[in-house]
Amino acid sequence: MTESAANKEADGDTCHRVKPGRNGTVRNRQYRQPKSCCLDEAKVHQKTCNGGLYGRPFIESFEETPMLLAVLTYMGYGILTVFGYLRDFLREWKIEKCHIAREREEQRDFVPLYQDFENFYTRNLYMRIRDGWNRPICSVPGAKMDLVERVSHDYNWTFSYTGRAVKDVVNMGSYNYLGFAENAGPCTNAAAAVTLKCGVGVCSTRQEMGNLDRHEELEKLTARFLGVEAAMAFGMGFATNSMNIPALTGKGCLILSDELNHASLVLGARLSGSTIRVFKHNNMQSLEKLLRDAIVHGQPRTHRPWKKILILVEGIYSMEGSIVRLPEILALKKKYKAYLYLDEAHSIGALGANGRGVLDYFGLDPSDVDIMMGTFTKSFGAAGGYIGGRKELIDYLRCHSHSAVYATSMSAPVVEQIITSMKCIMGEDGTTIGKKRIRQLAENTTYFRTRLQELGFIIYGNKDSPVIPMMLYLPAKIGAFVREMLKRNIGVVVVGFPATPIIESRARFCISAAHTKETLDMVMHWHFTRLARHLKTSRPSERAEALDISSPPAPCDLAPSLSCVFIAVC
C-alpha cells in the first residue's frame, strides 16, 4: 500500500496498514455533519463541524499527487541520477573540471574525510538550480524588495555580482504577515529613539545585568496580548524552543511531537532527554492512540507512570500550510491529563479576528494551553521569541531556562519594535492600522487561495492559512519556476526533496497584509495563467483558458518547458 498525502490523515497505526481517506477525528465525538459541500472534489475537501467542538468550519485540503505526475517525477529524478553518475565519472577521470573539495593525493590511503556519496545530491541536483536560493537582497523585505543581481559563469558553482540591483521584486517569500517589515513609520522611529537612549546591544544575560525596563514592559505587554498571566521574551525564536523544552521536561517524561514539527522543537525535545514519540501530522486518532498506550503501559521497561506527558504542536505548519486541530487536542489533553506546548511561530498575529493567534481563531480560552510559545520574527517585524503561561511557569523559566542564564538578552531597538507593533495590532496606539492590517491579511489570503484554486493549481493547507504551498512536483519545475518568476519580477521560495517528500516539491507563498489587491492580481493573472499551461495540475486546463483575462504581450511561452529540458541535460 503506497503512502500519499491523503493517506496520512488516516488511522493512527504507525505501521503500514494505513486506511486511506478517513480524517483523524477524536473517536468519542463522532458527529460529522453531512458534507454540505458546494465545493467540487468533495472527497478531498472535508468539512468538520465536529459536534460543536469547532466554532467554525475547518476546511483543509491535501490533494493527492496525480499518478501521472508522480511517475514523471520519479523519471525526472531517475534521469538526473543517471546524469549525476555520468558527471561524477567525468570528474573522476578529469575530463571535466571538479569544483568540489577533494582529498589531497597524499591522503588517499587514510580513512576518507568526506563521504563522496553523501554529497551526490548537492553537487548534481542542488547545484544546478542553486541560483534560486539564498539570493541577497538590498532593501527591506516588505511587499516589494530589491534583489542584488548576480550571474554565474560556471553553472552556479560561483556567483559574481554585476553591480546592479533588480528593483521592485514582488516579495512572496518573506514571513511578513502583517506588513511590519518596513523602514519608515512609528515602529522605526520608536526603535531609533531607544537606540540613542539605551544603545544597540546589551552584552549581558537576563540574570546578570541585561534586564532592561523595556524587557519588563515587553513581557507585561505580551502577557496582556496573549491573555495569559505572565510571559518571558528571548532573543532568538529557535533558541526559545531549543533552550526551554529541556528546562520543562527531562528523563522519565514523554514528548508527543507532531510529524512535521520544526527543527527547533525537534532539537529541544532531543536535548531534553525525554522519550519522544511522533504522531502523524495533525491526526487526532494517532495522537489519542499514543496517549492511551503511554498511560496504559507507562515507561518502556519499568512500566512506571510517566512523570509528564507533553504534546508539542505548532499553530500553522509552514511547509504544509495546515492549521492545528486545536479544539480536539484540548479535549484530548483534558481527558488524558497531558500538557500542551503550542508553538505559534507563524500563527501569532496572522490568525484570528484580533490577531491573537490560533486560540483567537478558534475562539478558545488561553488558560487551556499550558505553554504558549511564539516568535516575534514573523508578524511583528522583529526577532526573538516568547513563552507565555501561568506565573509559576514563567518564574520557573526565569531561573532555569538556558537562555535566561547564558544567552544575551534582546537588544533595546528590537524590543521597542515589538512593543510598538504589538500596541499597533492591539489598537492601543490610538489608530486602527492594526485592525486594518489584520483584515487585509485575511482578505488577501482568501482571495489568493480561491483564485489559485480556480486557476487549477494544487494548493495545500487550510483555507485560512496565509502560508500557501503550491505543488510543483517535478524537480526541473522547481528551478524553472523560480527563474521564470524572477524574470517577471516576483520572488518566491521553492522547496524540494529531501526537505519535503520526494514527490511533493512545492513553491511556498507567504501572503502579507502589505500586498495590495493589484499586486496579487498582477502576480496571478499576468503570470500564473501563463504558467498554468506548463504546471499541469489536477483540474483540466480548459478552466484557465475559460477565464476571460486580457494579458500584455508576453515573452516566449515555450521558455519554461524548454528550460525544464535544458536543466535536465546541461
Partner 1 sequence: MNVGTAHSEVNPNTRVMNSRGMWLAYLLGIGLLHVILLSIPFVSVSVVWTLTNLIHNMCMYLLLHTVKGTPFETPDQGKARLLTHWEQMDYGVQFTASRKFLTITPIILYILTSFYTKYDGVHFIINTFSLLSVLIPKMPQLHGVRLFGINKY
**Binding residues for partner 1 (CB under 8 A):** 1-4, 16, 64-65, 67, 70-71, 73-75, 78, 115, 117-122, 126, 133, 257, 259-263, 266, 278, 317-319, 478, 493-499, 501-503, 508
Q: Report the 10 Å Cβ neighbour count for 186.
A: 14
- Cα angle 81, 83, 88 (rounded to 5 degrees) comes to 95
Burial 476-499 (b: 16+ CB within 10 A, else e): bbbbbbbbbbbebbbbbbbbbbee
Cell numbers describing residue 423: 500596541
Neighbours of 86 (CB within 10 A): 12
Q: Smallest distance from the beta carbon of 493 to partner 1, in angstroms? A: 6
Which of residues 166 and 495 has its CB atom nearest to partner 1 in the complex? Answer: 495
Q: Residues 445, 464: contact at Cβ < 8 Å?
A: yes
- To the nearest whole angstrom, how small is the minimum distance from the Cβ of residue 63 to partner 1? 12
- The conformational region for residue 282 under phi > 0 = left, psi -120 to 50 = alpha, else beta, is left
Quote the least distance from Cβ 116 to partner 1, whole Å.
9
The residue among 312 and 424 lying less far from partner 1, judged by its C-beta, is 312
Minimum distance from residue 448 beta carbon to partner 1 (Å): 20
Pairwise CA distance, residues 274 & 259, whole Å: 17
- C-beta of 3 vs 557, nearer to partner 1: 3
Q: Which CB, 316 or 532, lies closer to partner 1? A: 316
The least distance separating partner 1 from the CB of residue 407, rounded to whole angstroms, comes to 22
What is the distance between the alpha carbons of residues 382 and 527, in angstroms, rounded to a whole number?
32
Residue placing its CB nearer to partner 1 in the complex, 120 or 159:
120
Residue 95: CB minimum distance to partner 1, A? 22
Contacts 24+ apart (CB under 8 A), 500-504: 500/319, 502/73, 502/74, 502/77, 503/65, 503/69, 503/70, 503/73, 503/74, 503/473, 504/5, 504/65, 504/471, 504/473
Choice between 120 and 526, CB closer to partner 1 = 120
Instruction: Please list the alpha-helical segments (H only) found in 17-153.
Output: 67-92, 120-121
Nearer residue to partner 1 within complex by CB, 126 or 396: 126
Q: Which of 504, 561, 510 is nearest to 77 (CA)?
A: 504
Q: Based on CB atoms, which residue is closest to partner 1, 80 or 223? A: 80
* Shortest Cβ 496–partner 1 spacing (Å): 5
Q: How far is CA 383 from CA 267, 409, 561, in A?
A: 20, 12, 40
* Contact by Cβ (8 Å): 551, 525: yes
Looking at the DSSP bridge assignments, the partners of residue 312 are 257, 341
Q: Mind spelling out the 3-state secondary structure of 328-366?
A: HHHHHHHHHCCEEEEECCCCCCCCCCCCCCHHHHHCCCH
Please say which residue, 305 or 501, places its beta carbon nearer to partner 1: 501
Q: Which is nearer to partner 1, 247 or 278 (CB)?
A: 278
Strand partners, 317: 322
